Amino acid sequence: MRTTSTSIGLTALRIVLGVVFIAHGAQKFAQGIGSVTEGFSGMGVPLAGVAAPLVAGLELVGGVFLVLGVATRVVGVLLAVDMVVAGVLAHASSGFYSQDGGFEYVLVLAVASLAVALTGPGRFSLDAVFLLASRRRRGVQEPLPA
């Protein structure tokens, strides 16, 4: 069984990661999806016209979901895939360090997103609230995971 400190740690990770993705998604919308599409095309992203709004929406809405702890495992996987694709298509050719345009930062975001997907949101999340309510309706007394 996980401890309260584990749930606090997962909550901190989830919220900070969510805020970062919210900022990046909002930035894409502020730049304009047309500009993002052009940028994606220049980086060789396939179907850039489809990818740009999907990525912007995923990062913005997915970030909000992470902060709230909603659909956390699914959102974590989707954001991890987003960052792996960004790393491969846009950053790998520039080496490791993010100051040079490398994949360092997207690697951290991908692994953090994967960690949230694998561990779950923690007790301090809407996912946990929904799970607890569902268990109570069914009469299940087992403890909630962290």
- Residue pair 87/74 in contact (Cβ under 8 Å)? The answer is no
Mean pLDDT taken over the chain: 93
Q: Give yes or no for residue 49 having a pLDDT over 70.
A: yes
pLDDT per residue over 68-121, tens digit each?
999 999 999 999 999 999 999 999 999 999 999 999 999 999 999 999 999 999
pLDDT per residue over 24-34, tens digit each?
999 999 999 99
Residue in the structure block whose two tokens are 């997962």:
10
At residue 136, the pLDDT reads: 76
Q: Give yes or no for residue 144 having a pLDDT over 60.
A: no
Looking at the whole model, is its pTM more than 0.75? yes
Provide the angle, in degrees to the nearest 10, between the axes of the packed helices 33-42 and 4-31: 100
